Amino acid sequence: MRRAALALLLAPLIALAAAAQPQSGFELMAPETQAMQRDDTANPGMLWVQEGEALWQQSGCAGCHGDAAASMRGAAARYPVYDEARAGPIDLAGRINQCRVERQGAPALALEGEPLLALGSFVAHQSRGLPVAPPADPRLAPARAQGEALFRERRGQLNLSCAQCHDDNAGRRLAGSPIPQGHPNGYPLYRLEWQGMGSLQRRLRNCMAGVRSEPFAYGAPEYIAIETFLMSRAAGLLLETPAVRP
Amino acid sequence: MPRAGTAPSRRTCLARWPWVLLLLAGGAAAQEDSLPSLTGTPGDAVRGRAIVTTRQRGLCLLCHSGPFPEERFQGDLAPGLAGAGSRLSEGQLRLRLVDGRRLNPQTIMPSYYRSEGLHQVGPAWQGRTILTAEEIEDVVAFLLTLRD
């Protein structure tokens, strides 16, 4: 009886502690999907990582960056970072294209095209297992604030904000599927629903269309602001690229 | 007339005022809590059931569960629909479908018959309500049949 009363008293505290700790969407997946992500020979995202490694070699990235396993380790855990040229945050895909255009004199790769997804997956994969560690750069604060405002803004014909599902109702079931907290710690990732690889921006567009709102164009600063906010919200979670999600 | 011949004193008159105010306020709240028919024609409960259980039309089962054993994937973000017809009146159900924000501005329940006051609506949905007036009446008619 006393133990039950104690448990009742402690339950809200335990719940609070759990809420303070970000939880990867991985934890909510079916065991088969978790196993698919864990096993590199079964994880379809590894095909993009391998393709990205080939592109890294062919495109001459190694000429400056050397061994990606050393030079790229930690990059995906930090990004988006502040970029002088943009006078704002730049995401990893944006940096890859900036590097191509300005340093290699090569054309930018199409956003969400397979080559950029492959290179992005290869680079992000070098940070797998590292904790999300957004830089404490005060120049990122305006973008982070803008991203949070967008996260909390109700939109679309269904008039829902990201926060209403991914903060207020995370863990509950939307049509039978558990709602994750919405952390960006596995991108680019292989989504079973897509039967393919996609970026965080593609995922954000899915939700925006889901609430019947007009998504921003790929590469829009709004997405990078949202990513900047989401990375600070996910601080400490381990990078999983290439993650697998339902 | 029980009170015939007894003129109420000024004091009792004043004492009754709070009750009158309460009744007035209660009346106003009751009015706010429900809506009259949008079409003047009773809805069709069979069509209403189809709207509720068709994911792309009613969207209801994304958040609600209900007595629909054939529907495998139902949500738990919102109160179950079982017994909705005994908990709420026709007018109360209608208001909650039309624009639940009038009762709770923070609700996650979309306003099914409202197209203004929205933000960044996709082109395909602009100026359109989620359901038509007839569809709202059909859903109300169906929900009223959920008695337990």
Mutate to test the interface with A, among B108, B115, B126 (most CBs of A within 10 A): B108
- Scanning B54-93 for CB atoms below 8 A from A yields 55, 59, 61-63, 72-77
As a whole number of angstroms, the distance between CA A136 and CA B38 comes to 55
Size of interface A-B (CB pairs under 8 A): 72
Residues of B in contact with A180 (CB under 8 A): none
Q: Nearest Cα to A68, choosing from A89, A34, A101, A92? A: A92
Give residues with Cβ within 8 angstroms of A104, minimum separation 6.
A59, A60
pLDDT band at residue B32, thresholds of 50, 70 and 90? confident
The answer, yes or no, to whether residue A234 has pLDDT greater than 80, is: yes
Burial class, B109, CB count within 10 angstroms (exposed 0-12 / middle 13-18 / buried 19+)? buried
- Predicted local confidence at residue B22, as pLDDT: 47
Distance from CA of A205 to the nearest CA of B (A): 12
Residues A65-102 have pLDDT tens digits of 999 999 999 999 999 999 999 999 999 999 999 999 99
Q: Which of A14-18, A180-184, B38-42, B49-53 has the lowest mean pLDDT?
A: A14-18
Residue type present at position A133: A
Position B137 pLDDT exceeds 70? yes
Model pLDDT for residues B51-92, shown as the tens digit of each residue: 999 988 999 999 999 999 999 999 999 999 999 999 999 999
Per-residue pLDDT, B8: 43
Mean pLDDT for all residues in chain A: 94
Question: How high is the pLDDT of residue A96?
Answer: 98
pLDDT at residue A2 in the model: 55
| Catalytic-residue membership of A207 | yes
CA distance A87 to B8: 78
Exposed / middle / buried, residue A102 (Cβ in 10 Å: 0-12, 13-18, 19+):
exposed
When pLDDT is averaged across residues A36-44 and rounded to a whole number, the result is 98
User: What letter does residue A238 receive in the DSSP assignment?
Assistant: B
Polymer length in residues for chain A: 246
Query: pLDDT tens for residues B84-126?
Result: 999 999 999 999 999 999 999 999 999 999 999 999 999 999 9
What is the pLDDT, as a whole number, of residue B23?
A: 46
Q: Rounded to an integer, what is the distance from CA A137 to the centroid of its chain?
A: 19
Helix boundaries (H) for chain A: 2-20, 31-38, 45-58, 61-65, 68-71, 75-78, 92-103, 114-125, 141-152, 162-166, 200-210, 221-233
**Strand, coil or helix: A67:** coil
Domains and CATH numbers, chain B: 45-143 (1.10.760.10)
Query: To 10 degrees, the CA torsion angle through A50, A53, A59, A60?
Result: -160
pLDDT in tens, A197-208: 999 999 999 999
Q: What residues contact A68, with CB distance under 8 A and at least 6 apart?
A: A53, A56, A61, A62, A122, A123, A126
Distance (Å) from the alpha carbon of B35 to chain A's nearest alpha carbon = 21
Give this complex's ipTM: 0.84
- Which of A153, A172, A212 faces B121 most closely, judged by CB atoms? A212
Residue-range domains of chain A with CATH: 32-245 (1.10.760.10)
**Which residue in the list A61, A99, A162, A207 is annotated as catalytic?**
A207
Per-residue pLDDT reduced to its tens digit, A122-177? 999 999 999 999 999 999 999 999 999 999 999 999 999 999 999 999 999 999 99
What share of chain A has pLDDT > 90, as a percent? Answer: 91
Using a CB–CB cutoff of 8 Å, tell me whether A67 touches chain B.
no
| Structure tokens that stand for B10 in this block | 């000024």
Is A95 in the B-facing interface, judged by CB distances under 8 Å? Answer: no
State the SS3 of chain B. CCCCCCCCCHHHHHHHHHHHHHHHHHHHHHHHCCCCCCCCCCCCHHHHHHHHHCCCCCCHHHHCCCCCCCCCCCCCCCCCCCCHHHHCCHHHHHHHHHHHHHCCCCCCCCCCCCCCCCCCECHHHCCCCCCCHHHHHHHHHHHCCCCC
**Residues B4-22 as b or e (16 or more Cβ within 10 Å = b):** eeeeeeeeeeeeeeeeeee
CA distance B108 to A171: 16
Report whether pLDDT(A1) > 80.
no
Q: Mark yes or no for CB contact B121/A168 under 8 Å.
A: no
A1-5, A21-25, B34-38, B144-148: least confidently modelled range:
A1-5
A154 inside 8 A of chain B by CB: yes
Report percent pLDDT > 70 for chain A: 92
